[in-house]
């Protein structure tokens, strides 16, 4: 059975007819070619490599059917730099990972970054209070990395949070404003 759905992905409306049993992760990867979202545990909901931001919340896209995303907004790793003001500029989260060697093979990284997008969006909404390393580790329990040992990932989050703290509040909020993203892609 198939259904026509329309999902806003990285600010762009995507209308497709898909089998109703298709998972969101397959929709993103196979239908839209957004292969930055990865599959690590094969739809078990454990590894977090498939994490995307769905209506503002970090969500494991293997745990959601594509048809469930009909009418909703998804941001994937490919969308992160869309928040930037100039081409080539990276999202603070991306900068953090690059600066602090937060990735080795990079397989878990997109999912990690999208979970962190949610964490930092909340942090920014709350006025960017300091995050403890412990709190960061606790909030990453849904994402597994087999390469880094996590310390550099924690440092990457701290680095991103510090970059954001150095900005004025509007600028900070803009890095998480999905509406802005849509504004750039009519």
Residues in 11-50 that interact with ligand FES by CB under 6 A? 39-41, 43-50
How far is 141 from 160, CA to CA, in rounded Å?
Answer: 19
How far is 75 from 115, CA to CA, in rounded Å?
Answer: 11
Count Cα atoms within 13 angstroms, Cβ side, for 14.
Answer: 24
Stretch that binds other proteins, among 1-9, 60-68, 123-131, 163-171 (CB under 8 A): 60-68
Q: Which does 50 bind (CB under 5 to 8 A by kind): ligand FES, other proteins, none?
A: ligand FES
How far is 101 from 4, CA to CA, in rounded Å?
Answer: 41
Among 2, 6, 85, 101, binds other proteins (CB under 8 A): 101
Contact 31, 73 (CB under 8 A): no
Q: Which does 172 bind (CB under 5 to 8 A by kind): ligand FES, other proteins, none?
A: none
Binding site for ligand FES (CB under 6 A): 39-41, 43-50, 60, 62, 103-109, 145-148
């Amino acid at each position: 059975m198939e259904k026509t759905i329309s999902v806003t992905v990285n600010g762009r409306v995507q209308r497709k007819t898909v089998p109703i049993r298709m998972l969101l992760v397959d929709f993103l990867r196979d239908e839209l070619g957004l292969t930055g979202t990865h599959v690590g545990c094969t739809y078990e909901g454990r590894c977090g490599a498939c994490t995307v931001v769905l209506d503002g919340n970090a969500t494991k896209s293997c745990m959601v059917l594509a048809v469930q995303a009909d009418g909703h907004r998804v941001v994937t790793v490919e969308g992160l730099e869309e928040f930037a003001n100039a081409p080539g500029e990276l999202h603070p989260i991306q900068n953090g990972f690059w600066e602090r060697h937060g990735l080795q093979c990079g397989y878990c990284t997109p999912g990690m970054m999208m979970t962190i997008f949610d964490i930092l969006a909340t942090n920014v909404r709350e006025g960017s209070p300091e995050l403890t390393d412990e709190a960061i580790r606790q909030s990453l329990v849904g994402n597994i990395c087999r390469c880094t040992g996590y310390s550099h990932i924690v440092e990457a989050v701290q680095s991103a949070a510090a970059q954001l703290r150095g900005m004025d509040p509007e600028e900070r909020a803009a890095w998480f404003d999905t509406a802005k993203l849509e504004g750039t892609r009519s």
